[in-house]
Amino acid sequence: MENIVVGITGASGVVYAQRLLQVLSKNDISLHISISDAAFKVIHHELGIDLPCEKPNYDALLGRSANNITYYNNSNISATIAGSQFPVKAMVIVPCSMNTLCSIACGIASNLIQRVANVTIKERRKLIMVPRETPLSSIHLESMLKLSSAGTCILPAMPGFYHNPGTIADQVDFVVAKILDMLEIKHSLIPIWQGENDDTK
């Protein structure tokens, strides 16, 4: 199975991570997950789910059991996934806090999520960051530009409306669908835009 690393940090919008994991865990993919301390608090506040830090119960987060998930404590910078020889297809940081984004842009690797992101960049692998912040300062924008120039995909949590979303879940699916597109994973979360052709001859 291909390996995908998912880092969950303390930005608002942890529902994006929850939905992404629900979809990815149904695929033939080995998921490697790390959650920051702040993210555990956001998960409790926004989803009403209490996950034990030492050994999170992903059944509660996914709404079902999954056997293709491996958890790593964010303080364990010597974890297997931190090594450059660990075969990772891609890493997704969702939601990505500005603290995490700006730290990685500066080459800081003070925890596992930051460490794996730095390795992903230097090994020229796919790194997808999903920031959820507004408004953005010049510092945020400059950090995003630096990361984008290094090959990182900056994928802001900006749901579109051309598919006429009827619920918050529809808007969440829009962003998650974009992440899956970047991962080159097929899905049916949102309808494919058919366009409006001009029939005038």
Q: Do the annotations mark residue 109 as ligand-binding?
A: no
What are the boundaries of each domain within the chain? 2-182
Q: Do the annotations mark residue 100 as ligand-binding?
A: yes
What's the CA gap between 97 and 118, in Å, rounded?
A: 16
| Reported CATH class of domain 2-182 | alpha beta
Q: Do the annotations mark residue 162 as ligand-binding?
A: yes
pLDDT per residue as tens digits for the range 107-138 = 999 999 999 999 999 999 999 999 999 999 99
162, 7, 38, 135: CA torsion to nearest 10: -40
Using alpha carbons only, give the angle 25, 50, 117 rounded to the nearest 5 degrees: 50
158, 156, 3, 109: CA torsion to nearest 10: -150
What's the CA gap between 98 and 155, in Å, rounded?
A: 13
Q: Do the annotations mark residue 36 as ligand-binding?
A: yes
pLDDT-based confidence at 65, cuts 50/70/90?
Answer: confident
Q: Do the annotations mark residue 132 as ligand-binding?
A: yes
pLDDT per residue as tens digits for the range 16-60 = 999 999 999 999 999 999 999 999 999 999 999 998 877 777 888
pTM: 0.94
